[in-house]
């Protein structure tokens, strides 16, 4: 499974990751090897397949989605408390 964190990095980082994935799909996967594409923002975007063209296409469609908090809760929480706890403190 090829995982892409398209939520926390800049677009340039994702582009470098996509290029590395394309090289891996082309040169690193052996005959009959299967892979899936999973993006942090969307979940599974392509199920396991041996189709290199489908994998490359799915990889190319990924875009960076920087998370922006609309509340103090997202900015302060930093993964230290649950969303419910955060909402209790920052209504």
Find out whether 6 and 14 touch, Cβ atoms under 8 Å.
Answer: yes
pLDDT tens-digit map of 51-85 = 999 999 999 999 998 665 545 455 444 445 555 66
Q: How many domains does the chain have?
A: 1
What is the average pLDDT score of the chain?
82
- Residue 50, domain extent: 2-89
Phi, psi (rounded to 5 degrees) for 56 = -65, -40
Q: Output the pTM of the full model.
A: 0.69
């Amino acid at each position: 499974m090829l995982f892409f964190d398209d939520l926390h990095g800049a677009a340039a980082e994702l582009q470098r990751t996509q290029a590395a994935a394309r090289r891996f799909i082309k040169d690193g996967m052996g005959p009959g090897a299967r892979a899936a594409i999973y993006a942090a923002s969307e979940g599974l975007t392509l199920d396991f397949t041996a189709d290199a063209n489908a994998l490359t296409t799915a990889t190319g469609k990924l875009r960076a989605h920087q998370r922006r908090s609309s509340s103090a809760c997202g900015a302060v929480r930093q993964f230290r408390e649950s969303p419910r706890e955060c909402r209790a403190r920052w209504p």
